[in-house]
Amino acid sequence: MSFDIVINNGLYFDGSGAPGALRHIGIKHGRIDTLSLSPLDERGAEVIDAAGKWVTPGFLEIHSHYDAEVIAAPALKESVRHGVTSVTIGSCSISMVLADAEDCSDLFTRVEAVPREYVLPILQEKKSWRDAAGYRAFYDQHALGPNVSSFLGHSELRVAVMGLTRATSKVAPSEAELQRMEQLLEEALDAGCIGLSVMTTRLDKMDGERAWSSPLPSTFANWKEFSRLFAVLRRRGAVLQGAPNAVTKVNVFAFLWQAHGWFRQPLKCTMLTALDLKSQPLLHRFTRLSGWLANRVLRGHFRWQTLPAPFTLRLEGLNVNAFEEFGAGEILRNIKDPDELYAKVKEPAFRALFKQQVKAVLTKGLWHRDFSDCWVTECPDASLVGQNFRQLGEARGLDAVDAYFELACQYREALKWSTCYGNDREPIMRKLLASPWTHPGFADSGAHLRSIAQYNFPLRFLKYVRDAQLAGTPFMELGQAVRRCSGELADFIGVDAGYIRVGDRADLVIINPEGLTEELDAIAEAPMEVLGLTRVVKRNDAAVEATLINGRIAYRRGLEYPEELGKTQDYGRFLPSREVLPRRQPAADLQPTTA
């Protein structure tokens, strides 16, 4: 028997949660052809010796913001090199399905910290579709790296129906507009979208001139509007991805109620986010308890997305998204002109207000706001590197906030500093990762290019599990950890991915467990293909030996990527939901039957 690729001698995990077993894999015509107990005939095949390595299904990222990058540079190499073979776009109420290029750009660029001057021209050139059928047709013809699945974003849906001005106001949609939203959501599900994403936190703001600094349109919706759309999702078995209010979190209970399955079909919900935040050290208990409540008591189908890695950010000057969490910080975020921005922090009255509000407990969201836990990582004055702002302030006779502002004004974006928002307590992380009510996600790949670098999150998950086993304190079996990053996610969002079984598309990863080292947390910079930008990344290329997509090697350590990745249709596919039910026909369209 001849194969295109043979992988011999690997410890094989199928994505079901079963323990690893020594198997030899034959791949032919893009699919798993043979799983053998004995080594396979290597004649005519490309051979990979996986002795001492793990062979796992390709990982899924169910929360990316690759919406713009996948259009311009579809290889998505930074994810592929870390074993991710399927990504989901359209998260957080932002998608590029229905609205025009400028609307999509203004919804996306400031929220996801990708420069508008790069995104808007790409969309103006490439985005020829204005409906879900055209969106699907584009991806069916697009040369992809990883596979792609998609939500429809509620903010985009609102803009497409109501127009940008009305969608970002307190004006409620008319009955005709609500019906149009329902119709467009139905059409998106018909076209293969896996569900709807919504946003209720008002911290994320619009870009562009027309609605600059407005909260996203989804945040202006009332629960009547949400309920109408959620009813479509529930009826058709589609997924809701949402985010509760980041500060008050009160509306978490509204989402829990929407998900319940008492005397009805439960609404499948994936929500942001289960983190062990320094600003809210008991939050992890709330998310795990609420997951139990939603699933066990309310009989729902509810998961919190969690980040399986330290939540570390690299920041530059005054460019800090978390400033949106309180009034004085929001003032800074609303200033477009850099000179005006840096002049503002020199005003004594503003500094006094900033210092007062940065200490306010009730407005704390993601950021801990402790400047003694903010460390200079790069600066023209190398003597500052490695010190935090409290230390730098003490050396200058300044408050930590004053030291930060003075250095930011002096060096602007050349002052690079980092802080860890949370996920720094390993025992808590083990509990979050082991919880049946969480999913590994929230990597935000394709967004926050200068600050967040979580493209390797599945490897970090496996490192937690492998390290605990080596320490004699296991909290999860390795087969289950692999499933959590692959088959479990694919089953939840309802796409054909996440397994290695005979007949499956051959999306898989070969991992060297000896490469799961502390280097997984090291932040560096790397150029982005095509776009001409530089992003922060986390890499240790000793971990992934090879990534295969559709039975072809998409990445191999030492050889990098094949030239055709992202240029031909030999790799990824658009993955429609396999669980969304067909649309019900109106009663008038039903034909009478005869006995």
Please give the pLDDT value at position 41.
86
- Is residue 125 a part of any domain in this protein? no
Range of the domain at 8: 1-89+447-562
CB 267 within 8 A of CB 401: no
SS (H, E, C) 400-454: HHHHHHHHHHHHHHHCEEEEEEECCCHHHHHHHHHCCCEEECCCCCCCCCCCCCC
H helix or E strand, kind and range, residue 71: helix 69-72
Cα distance from N-terminal residue to C-terminal residue, the chain: 53
- Is residue 201 a part of any domain in this protein? no
Please give the pLDDT value at position 494.
97
φ, ψ at 18 (rounded to 5°): -70, 155
Q: Are 455 and 415 in the same domain? A: no
- Give the type of residue at 187: E
Structural domain count, the chain: 2
Residue with tokens 């509204």: 254
CB 34 within 8 A of CB 3: yes
- Is residue 405 a part of any domain in this protein? yes
Helices 175-190 + 132-141 axis angle, to 10: 20
How far is 437 from 256, CA to CA, in rounded Å? 13
Q: Are 395 and 488 in the same domain? A: no
How far is 270 from 492, CA to CA, in rounded Å? 9
Q: Are 323 and 410 in the same domain? A: yes
> Which bin fits 35, alpha (ψ -120 to 50), beta or left (φ > 0)?
beta
Nearest to 572 by CA among 594, 539, 548, 593: 548
Written as tens digits, the pLDDT of the chain (595 aa) is 689 999 999 999 999 999 999 999 999 999 999 999 999 988 889 999 999 999 999 999 999 999 999 999 999 999 999 999 999 999 999 999 999 999 999 999 999 999 999 999 999 999 999 999 999 999 999 999 999 999 999 999 999 999 999 999 999 999 999 999 999 999 999 999 999 999 999 889 999 999 999 999 999 999 999 999 999 999 999 999 998 876 666 788 888 888 888 988 999 999 998 999 999 999 999 999 999 999 999 999 999 999 999 999 999 999 999 999 999 999 999 999 999 999 999 999 999 999 999 988 777 788 999 999 999 999 999 999 999 999 999 999 999 999 999 999 999 999 999 999 999 999 999 999 999 999 998 899 999 999 999 999 999 999 999 999 999 999 999 999 999 999 999 999 999 999 999 999 999 999 999 999 999 999 999 999 888 899 999 988 999 999 999 999 999 999 999 999 999 999 999 999 999 999 876 544 434 433 3
- Written as one string, the DSSP assignment of 140-209 is HHS-BSSEEEEEEEHHHHHHHHH-HHHHTSSPPPPHHHHHHHHHHHHHHHHTT--EEE----TTSB--TT
192 burial via Cβ count (<10 Å: 0-12, 13-18, 19+): buried
Cα angle 253, 254, 258 (rounded to 5 degrees) comes to 115
> Which bin fits 225, alpha (ψ -120 to 50), beta or left (φ > 0)?
alpha
Q: Are 460 and 406 in the same domain? A: no
Q: Are 469 and 555 in the same domain? A: yes
Please give the pLDDT value at position 594.
33
Please give the pLDDT value at position 592.
40
How far is 344 from 351, CA to CA, in rounded Å? 9
Please give the pLDDT value at position 247.
63
Please count the residues of the chain.
595
- Is residue 280 a part of any domain in this protein? no
Nearest to 84 by CA among 64, 105, 112: 64
Long-range contacts of 333-342 (CB under 8 A, 24+ apart): 333/205, 333/213, 334/205, 334/212, 334/213, 336/212, 338/412, 342/317, 342/318, 342/408, 342/409, 342/412
The CATH number of residue 25's host domain is 2.30.40.10
- Is residue 231 a part of any domain in this protein? no
Cα angle 185, 443, 461 (rounded to 5 degrees) comes to 125
- Is residue 131 a part of any domain in this protein? no
Strand partners, 86: 60, 147
Contacts of 176 (CB under 8 A, 6+ apart): none
CB 12 within 8 A of CB 500: yes
Pairing state of beta strands 534-538 and 523-527? Answer: antiparallel
Contacts of 419 (CB under 8 A, 6+ apart): 312, 313, 315, 367, 368, 373, 374, 375
Cα angle 123, 218, 212 (rounded to 5 degrees) comes to 60
Nearest to 149 by CA among 539, 435, 577: 577
Q: Are 384 and 482 in the same domain? A: no
How far is 10 from 454, CA to CA, in rounded Å? 27
CB 412 within 8 A of CB 342: yes
Structure tokens belonging to residue 361: 């407990």
SS (H, E, C) 88-151: EECCCCCCCCCCCHHHHHHHHCCCCCCCHHHHHHHHHHHCCCCCHHHHHHHHHHCCECCEEEEE
φ, ψ at 292 (rounded to 5°): -60, -45
- Is residue 68 a part of any domain in this protein? yes
- Is residue 202 a part of any domain in this protein? no
Q: Are 348 and 414 in the same domain? A: yes
This prediction has a pTM of 0.94
Q: Are 451 and 546 in the same domain? A: yes
**Rg of the chain taking only CA atoms, in angstroms:** 24
